[in-house]
Amino acid sequence: MASRNKPAVRRRRSKQSKRSNRITRFFKALAVSAIASFSAASCVLHPQLREQVSIEPLLAQVGIFGERGLAPITPVSGSYAQTRFAECRGLFPDEQPPAVPAGPALRELCFDAFAILHSGRTRTPVFVVQRLNRRLLQQAQHIERTDRFYEEARLPAAERAELNDYRRSGYSRGHMAPAADMHTPEAMAQSFSLANMVPQDQRHNSGPWAKIESDTRKYILRARGDVYVFTGPVYADRFQTIGDGKVAVPTYLYKLVYDATTRRSWVHWQANHAGATAGPPIRYEEFVRRTGLRLLP
C-alpha cells in the first residue's frame, strides 16, 4: 500500500515545488518593478542622480543580478565612493583600498598579481594597482609572454571592451599592469584581459611609456621592500572613442610609484600621443589636484 502511494506523494511534492518557484519568481519580478519605478521617478525628480545612482546593487540583493556579475560600488560621502576589494586588499598600501570620485558603473576586479577598478562608462580602468618587489620581478624574468588578449567575461557586455573594438583602430591595446611584471604563468595570462587595457598610441606605447615601465622595474629591483604601482588613464572633457563599443581613448596616462619602505612617491604623467617624451615626474599632491584620485593611504 505504501509503495503505491509513493508516486502520488512525489507528484504532490513536485506540484508544491513548482508553486513555490512561481511564487518566488512573482515576488522577484515585483521587487524589480518596484525598484525600477522608484529609480526612474527619482531620476526624473533629481536629474543629477542619473550618473551617480545604479539599481544593480539592489537587484543583486534580491537575486536578480547575474551569477558572474559584479555589483558596482556606490557613493558613500559627497562626490566620493569607497572601494573595498575584499578579495585582494593585500595589493594596496597598508591594505587600504582608496576612495575615488564617484561615477557610474565602477566595478572591482581582483586578479592574482593586480587589481582593477573598472569604469563601464569608458570601458577602461580607472586604476590598476600592483604590489611588486625584487623577488617577484626576478621570477617574472623567467615567464614567457603569451599575447592572448581576451574579453573580460566578469564585466557586463554593455560595460566591457571587445576585441573587435581595437581591430583596425590604429591604437595599441596598452597594458596598464605590464605583462613583463607578471611572476607566474597564470598572472601573465590574466594581464591580457581587455579590462587591463586602454587604447594607446602605438609609438608612445613602444617608446617613452616602455621606458617608464622599464625604469620602474629597475627601481623596484634595487628597493628594499614592497613597491606599489598604480597605473591608469585620464580623460579630457571631450575624448575620442574606438569601435562599436566606443572605448574611450585616454588623453593622458599616469603611473604612480610608492615605496612602502621609504614612504616616497612620484607620478609619471604622459600625454597619449606619439610626440610625448619621458620627462621628470610630478609630485603626488599635484597628481591628486589634476585627477581627484587619492590613491595612497
Residue 59 lies in a domain: no
**Residue predicted with more confidence, 72 or 243:** 243
Q: Is residue 297 part of a domain?
A: no
Shared domain for 152 and 82, answered yes or no, is yes
Residue 252 phi/psi, 5-degree rounding, is -135, 160
Pair 18, 100 in one domain: no
CA 152 to chain centre: 10
Report, in this order, helix, strand and coil percent for the chain, each rounded to 5.
40, 25, 40
List, in order, residues 6 or more apart from 224 with CB less than 8 Å away: 261
Residue 10 banded pLDDT, cuts 50, 70, 90: low
One domain, residues 93 and 34 = no
> Quick one: 99 and 213 in the same domain?
yes
What is the pTM (predicted TM-score) of this model?
A: 0.77
Residues 215 and 250 in one domain: yes
Q: How far is CA 285 from CA 63, 101, 133, 294, in A?
A: 42, 16, 24, 9
Tally Cβ neighbours within 10 Å of residue 79. Answer: 11
Predicted confidence (pLDDT) at residue 54 exceeds the cutoff of 90: no
Q: Which three cell numbers stand for residue 107?
A: 566595478
Residues 255 and 268 sit within 8 Å (Cβ to Cβ): yes
User: Residue 104 belongs to a domain with what CATH number?
Assistant: 3.40.570.10
Tell me what the mean pLDDT of segment 40-45 comes to: 42
**How far, in Å, are 104, 115, 128, 195, 276 from residue 242 at the CA level?**
20, 24, 21, 15, 21
The pLDDT-based confidence of 119 (bands split at 50, 70, 90) is very high
Whether the Cβ atoms of residue 160 and residue 195 lie closer than 8 Å to each other: yes
**Domain count along the chain:** 2
Q: What is the pLDDT of residue 277?
A: 87
Is residue 113 one of the residues assigned to a domain? yes
296 assigned to some structural domain: no
Tell me, yes or no, whether 120 and 36 share the same domain: no
Q: What is the C-alpha separation between 197 and 250, in angstroms, rounded?
A: 11
pLDDT tens readout for residues 187-217: 999 999 999 999 999 999 999 999 999 999 9
E-assigned strand segments in 215-279: 227-234, 241-242, 247-248, 252-259, 264-271
The predicted pLDDT at position 174 comes to 98
Same domain, 161 and 45: no
Radius of gyration of the chain from its Cα atoms, rounded to whole angstroms: 23
Alpha-carbon span 24 to 242, nearest angstrom: 43
Judgement on whether residues 21 and 132 belong to the same structural domain of the protein: no
Q: How far is 192 from 260, CA to CA, in rounded Å?
A: 27
For residue 60, being part of any structural domain is answered with: no
Same domain, 130 and 19: no
Same domain, 132 and 278: yes
Judge whether residue 57 has pLDDT over 50.
no
8 A C-beta contact, residue 227 and residue 215:
no
Domain that holds residue 191: 70-291
Whether 126 is in a domain gets the answer yes
Amino acid 176 reads M
Longest dimension (CA), the chain: 90
**25 and 109 part of one domain:** no
224 in the same domain as 125: yes
Average pLDDT over residues 126-135: 98
Kindly state whether residue 183 falls inside one of the protein's structural domains.
Answer: yes
Contact 227, 220 (CB under 8 A): yes
Residue 109 falls inside a structural domain:
yes
